[in-house]
Amino acid sequence: MNIGALLLRDKQADRVVPPTGYTAHLTLFVSGAMAFLAVFAMALSLASGRLADRWAEELARSATLRITAPADQRAAQTEAALAILKQTPGVARARALSDEEQAALLAPWFGQDLPLDALPVPRLIEVVAAEPGYDAAGLRLRLAAEVPGAVLDDHTRWRAPLVDAANSLRRLALISILLIAGAMAAMITLAANAALAANAQVIGVLRLVGARDRYIAGAFVRRFTLRALIGAAVGMVLGMVGVMLLPEASDEGGFLTGLGFRGLAWGLPLLIPLLGAIVAFAATWAAARRRLGELS
Amino acid sequence: MIELENVGYSYGGGELLSDVSVTLPPGSFHFLTGPSGSGKTTLLKLCYGALVPTAGRLCAFGKDMRTLDRDQMALLRRRIGVVHQDCQFLDHLKLAENIALPLVVSGRDTATEAGNLDELMQWVGLAARTDALPPELSGGERQRAALARAVIMSPDVVLADEPTGNVDWEMSQRLMQLLVELNRMGKTVLIATHDLGLIRATKSQVQTRVLRISNRRLQHAGADL
Ligand SMILES: Nc1ncnc2c1ncn2[C@@H]1O[C@H](COP(=O)(O)OP(=O)(O)OP(=O)(O)O)[C@@H](O)[C@H]1O
Ligand SMILES: [Mg+2]
């Protein structure tokens, strides 16, 4: 079957089936609403995907080693820990933070003029993992044996569930897109069936004067495909405007403000009207073939 | 053209037609008669494939109807012009468009056939009603329009179910004239009618055969009525 030829506008064939009034408006509305929802589901899936990827990457890459030891042993233990880190496969870089950097980290909590020397503040070592990463459990064992005051904090414990959450969110968004497509197919099938039933007499006459199924089905398929395309395009544009009006992504906002499209992904919603048209085409074609099969 | 071999048909209850055997050779002119409810319309429907025989074999243009798929059936109907007893039109299209419908659905160019269409409308006396919608037509006008639609494709076979049921004697003579004309051009014609007067009048113009349904069987009535 040549889909292109079938979709080609055929003025005479389109006149042969009477205009279908309100099912036309319903189809337009449903396609528009579904496309609007699909834009948001798409934005959500992209944003949660980005978030999951970024968190997973940070999680794998950076960790902190904390050396808590009496003041006189702290320098020695730091040296020892750095030496161990240097030998550990999968560690790209390890660097002890300077006093100034540590003071800057603590300033928000204790104020600018903190007498760091007077307090038993632990020394922090920033560990950056290579690709693939290091074996955290192995490293902990070795540190426990050789540097008693060292505690490895690899952020995994609290971030891992967040990565899972972001991944589930992405999965849910993708499922939503599939459900939206399915609901649209179901509603267009109902609308097409209503139109076919309302035109049963017309279809009967067309069969009697020698029209092929393809010709009759084509008249309906063309209409519903076109309506779905137009409705979905309008819904998609409104959805995109909605996404554009969301506040700019910012670090403080974290997840919520990152809910837009980035760069080339702005082109992705353009696929929605196309998919909507394909769904409408398939649904109407199937409904028409089923109906026509019942006629002689 | 159309051959029936021991064809039987039942709508679900008892058999309405049984053991019907008849051949419509090319260029023949047949009348089909019988009491109301005897199955004339049913027999015509079998001939254009709207019904499938429940027994026996029916061939059209040398092909067993049962073996045709839906597209082949559509093509077959372009070669068989049918005047239905309950003339069915598309009520939202003008009369001229309705009559040209077989051309449109078979992808023929209606512009090149426009002259043909005008002539045909003239023939059936509907030239003044081209822009009317079917519901605005009288019963007789609808029947004439149905006949025009049946012959616009210049089919090989014309099946007409009571084509003169609602028209006066003069108009029915004119319609028969058109069918006789088509028959002289080599078309096969089968007309179902109760109107014995019409059959007699036509017999003087063309060689016809009369088939009569009685007691579920088809009888070849021959010359005597
Ligand atoms: N779709 C159907 N389902 C069941 N019975 C039917 C159906 N169509 C017709 N019949 C019955 O079959 C019988 C023959 O009908 P048909 O229309 O062939 O008669 P006919 O000879 O054309 O009559 P008329 O001269 O009144 O047009 C009738 O008794 C009718 O009630
Ligand atoms: Mg009848």
Q: Which amino acid is at A61?
A: R
In the predicted model, what is the mean pLDDT of residues A205-224? 90
pLDDT averaged over chain B? 89
Ligand 1 mutation target, pool B7, B10, B11, most atoms within 8 A of CB:
B11
User: Where do the domains of chain A lie?
Assistant: 3-56+163-295, 69-148
> Tens of pLDDT along B76-105?
999 999 998 888 899 999 999 999 999 999
| More confident: B154 or B165 | B154
| More confident: A116 or A31 | A31
**pLDDT band at residue A163, thresholds of 50, 70 and 90?**
confident
Q: Is the pLDDT of residue A106 over 70?
A: yes
Question: Residue A5: its pLDDT value, please?
Answer: 59
Question: Residue A251: its pLDDT value, please?
Answer: 53
Highest mean predicted confidence (pLDDT) among A93-102, A124-133, B47-56, B165-174: B47-56
Cα–Cα nearest to B133, from B90, B187, B76, B74: B90
Apex CA B209: angle with CA B204 and CA B210, to 5°? 105
Q: Is the pLDDT of residue A253 over 70?
A: no
> Tens of pLDDT along A240-251?
998 888 776 555
In CATH terms, the superfamily for domain B1-79+156-225 is P-loop containing nucleotide triphosphate hydrolases (3.40.50.300)
Mark yes or no for CB contact A205/B106 under 8 Å. Answer: no
Q: Which amino acid is at A223?
A: R
> Tens of pLDDT along A225-242?
999 999 999 999 999 998
Q: Which ligand is nearest to the CA of B42?
A: 1
Highest mean predicted confidence (pLDDT) among A122-136, A255-269, B157-171, B210-224: B157-171
Question: Residue A61: its pLDDT value, please?
Answer: 65
How many other CB atoms sit within 10 Å of the CB of residue A282?
15
In the predicted model, what is the mean pLDDT of residues B138-159? 90
Which helix (H) or strand (E) segment holds residue B145: the answer is helix B139-151
Q: Is the pLDDT of residue A214 over 80?
A: yes
Q: Considering all CA atoms of chain A, what is the largest pairwise distance in Å, rounded to the nearest integer?
A: 104
- Partners of B70 on chain A (C-beta within 8 Å) are 212-213, 292
DSSP structure class, residue B86: S
Task: Mean pLDDT check: name the lowest of A57-66, A121-130, B159-168.
Answer: A57-66
DSSP assignment of A39-52, as one string? HHHHHHHHHHHHHH
Q: Is the pLDDT of residue A12 over 80?
A: no
**B37 Cα to the center of ligand 2, angstroms:** 7
> Tens of pLDDT along B35-56?
988 999 999 999 998 899 999 9
Burial class (CB in 10 A: 0-12, 13-18, 19+), A294: exposed
In the predicted model, what is the mean pLDDT of residues A123-142? 82
**B177 Cα to the center of ligand 2, angstroms:** 22
Q: Output the six-digit token pair for A26.
A: 């319903």
Q: Is the pLDDT of residue A293 over 90?
A: no
Report the phi/psi class of residue B162: left, alpha or beta, with left for phi > 0 and alpha for psi in -120 to 50: left
Apex CA B38: angle with CA B36 and CA B39, to 5°? 110
For A214, name the nearest residue in chain B, comparing CA atoms only: B71
pTM (2 d.p.): 0.74
Q: Is the pLDDT of residue A1 over 50?
A: no
Burial class (CB in 10 A: 0-12, 13-18, 19+), A71: exposed
Burial A3-41 (b: 16+ CB within 10 A, else e): eeebbeebeebeebbeebeebbebbbebbbbbbbbbbbb
**pLDDT band at residue B189, thresholds of 50, 70 and 90?**
very high
Question: Residue B24: its pLDDT value, please?
Answer: 92
In the predicted model, what is the mean pLDDT of residues B197-201? 89
Cα–Cα nearest to A81, from A143, A131, A21, A25: A143
**B114 touches A at CB < 8 Å:** no
Q: Is the pLDDT of residue B152 over 70?
A: yes
> Tens of pLDDT along A35-65?
999 998 998 888 888 888 877 777 666 788 8
Q: Which ligand is nearest to the CA of B39?
A: 1
Q: How far apart are CA B49 and CA B40, in angstroms?
A: 14
CA distances from A24 to A30, A214, B146 (A): 10, 21, 32
Mark yes or no for CB contact A16/B52 under 8 Å. Answer: no
Burial A159-177 (b: 16+ CB within 10 A, else e): eeeebeebbebbeebbebb
**A49 Cα to the center of ligand 2, angstroms:** 69
User: Where do the domains of chain B lie?
Assistant: 1-79+156-225, 87-154
Task: Answer for the pair A128, A92: CB distance below 8 angstroms, yes or no.
Answer: yes
> What's CA A198's distance to the chain center, in Å?
41
Residues in the ligand 1 pocket, defined by CB under 6 Å: B 11, 16, 34, 36-42, 85
Task: Answer for the pair B20, B216: CB distance below 8 angstroms, yes or no.
Answer: no
Q: What percent of chain B has pLDDT over 70?
A: 98
Q: How far apart are CA A94 and CA A124, in angstroms?
A: 10
Mark yes or no for CB contact B106/A207 under 8 Å. Answer: no
Give me the helices (H) in A199-257, please: 200-208, 213-244
Mark yes or no for CB contact B105/A15 under 8 Å. Answer: no
In the predicted model, what is the mean pLDDT of residues B202-210? 89
